[in-house]
Amino acid sequence: MLASVVHVEGSTYRRAGARLLVTAGDQMIGLISGGCLEGDLLEHAKRVLETGEAVLVHYDATNEDDLVWGLGLGCAGVVEVWLERVDRDSPGPLHWLADWIRSRRPAAMATAISGPRAGERRALPRDQGAIGTLSLPPVDEALLAARGSGRGRGLAHQGQRIAIECFRPPTRLVIFGAGPDASPLARLAVDLGWDVSVLDHRPASARPERFPGAEVVCTPIDAAVAHADPGPETYCVVMTHHYLNDRALLKDLLATPSPYLAMLGPRRRTDDLLSDLASEGIALDEAADRERIFAPAGLDLGADAPETIALSIAAEIQAVASSRSGGWLRDRKGPIHDPENA
């Protein structure tokens, strides 16, 4: 059984697009709430598995009576969850999602959650035409808009409700340097579900057993960036602790579209690296390049150990990827989540 959050209003633990897979043995993979919905969903899942009919489950925690008579949800919001039976022959959206993850390809997907075509889907992967049976002009237009903006929405058409969601592949992190302090960062990133690669020119350091769950590549420094091939959604951290290696890597990275180039070490060291590159004739776009170079790497968390430095860097990457400042949530004006178009 697959549970997908298709609509939210107000404060909720997870947003639209969150998923939970329930196996035949009631093992739950994924999370759609802080634990307050999963138990109730299992009861609904039993009926879905028996009948094979998908259902839309509605939770409303905006009423204060919910604390007494309802589930006692931790967030004062509305959550709608689409429950459907999935298996090898009828995988639902899982085959599309797996393909997009493998190819690191963003996409937009539409799911009819009510009306005569409930359960039908249509998707628009990047650089491809639309696929799926839910072929309606408003759906294709909404998918195109969602893929371009990165924002999902709800759509009503001919008595049907359709959930439009955006899919983004896991954050891709490339670490240049396989020293002892690279291990905590790679481990944390893997635990976060990121796509992690570690590159180093030293065979003794670039060993897979030191970086479980990550791709580990032993390659010469002058070939490392080309091998990694950072794209516009790739976040790069340079931590070789060797000045000449860092200079060579930074030179090559500046020619990539990566939005995040983090350098370990003090700010002055990176300024010296950039001055060296300028003396070699490497042009630096003061606006664009300075904006994506983060030196020293990481948020100001008071980190002074490999594990806490890894935490500060991972937190900074999350902030950059979400276009957030990384400040205190208590000081944020308005909701902590961007509003969804319903």
Domain end, chosen from 167, 187, 216, is at 167
Residue 333 lies in a domain: no
Residues 178, 44, single domain; the answer is no
For residue 116 the two structure tokens come to 């005569």
| Strands 260-263, 293-294: pairing kind | parallel
d(CA 66, CA 72): 6
What's the pLDDT tens digit per position in 17-37?
Answer: 889 898 877 788 888 877 778
For residue 70 the two structure tokens come to 């309802």
Residue 337 lies in a domain: no
- Domain that includes residue 143, residue range: 2-167
Residues 143, 252, single domain; the answer is no
Residues 293, 239, single domain; the answer is yes
pLDDT at residue number 68: 36
CA 197 to chain centre: 16
Residue 342 lies in a domain: no
Domain end, chosen from 167, 183, 207, is at 167
d(CA 27, CA 7): 24
Q: 94 CB contacts (<8 Å, ≥6 apart)?
A: 2, 86
Residues 149, 214, single domain; the answer is no
Each of the 342 residues of the chain gets a pLDDT tens digit; together they read 899 999 888 777 778 888 989 887 778 888 887 777 877 888 888 888 888 889 999 888 766 554 433 444 555 678 899 999 998 888 999 999 999 888 888 899 999 999 999 999 999 998 788 999 998 889 999 999 988 888 888 999 888 899 999 988 899 999 999 999 999 999 999 999 999 999 999 999 999 999 999 999 999 999 999 999 999 999 999 999 999 999 999 999 999 999 999 999 999 999 999 999 999 998 888 788 889 999 999 999 999 999 999 999 999 999 999 888 898 888 887 766 665 544
What's the pLDDT tens digit per position in 309-331?
Answer: 999 999 999 999 988 889 888 88
Residues 186, 132, single domain; the answer is no
